[in-house]
Structure formats: structure tokens, C-alpha cells
Amino acid sequence: MLPSGFIPVLVRSVKDLDMLLTKNTTHGAMIAKQVGLKLQQEIIKKAQDLNIEILNQSRKVKAVEQQ
């Protein structure tokens, strides 16, 4: 468990978010380091739609969104 109170679950694809639908209040998604920028953006967008917390949003993704 992290200090934020969430239990991390490793996510490698958009499909992995489906298993967090019923546990989105106790579990959060951690995007794997091997995931590319395009897939990271898709995962983050889907997680926001499903109200799932992303525990490690990459600075790379944030920099692209600001442009």
C-alpha cells in the first residue's frame, strides 16, 4: 500500500484497466515502464473516463499535453 492509500496494480494495456473497475476506490493503476508514449496517453484517457487513479503519470506525457 502506498502513502496515498492505494494498492498499486501494474497496467500494460488498456484492457488491464477493466479489472480495476470494481476496485477503483482502493486500487490504483501503475503504468509499466515498457509502455510507449502513445499507449500511455490512451491508458490515461481511458482511466480518466473510468475514474481510475493513475499513480505514476509520466512527465513525458504531461509535457506533451501542455504543448
Residue 1 domain-assigned (yes or no): no
Q: Write phi, then psi, for 8 (nearest 5 degrees).
A: -75, 140
Residue 27 domain-assigned (yes or no): yes
Distance separating alpha carbons of residues 29 and 7, to the nearest angstrom: 8
Residue 54 domain-assigned (yes or no): yes
Predicted confidence band of residue 3 (pLDDT cuts 50, 70, 90)? confident
Residue 25 domain-assigned (yes or no): yes
Instruction: Give 6-64 pLDDT, tens digit per residue.
Output: 999 999 999 999 999 999 889 999 999 999 989 999 999 999 999 999 998 866 666 56
Residue 2 domain-assigned (yes or no): no
Distance separating alpha carbons of residues 67 and 51, to the nearest angstrom: 24
Q: Residue 30 is part of which domain span?
A: 7-66
Residue 21 domain-assigned (yes or no): yes
Residue 2: what pLDDT?
A: 83
Residue 47: what pLDDT?
A: 94
Residue 64: what pLDDT?
A: 63
Domain count, the chain: 1
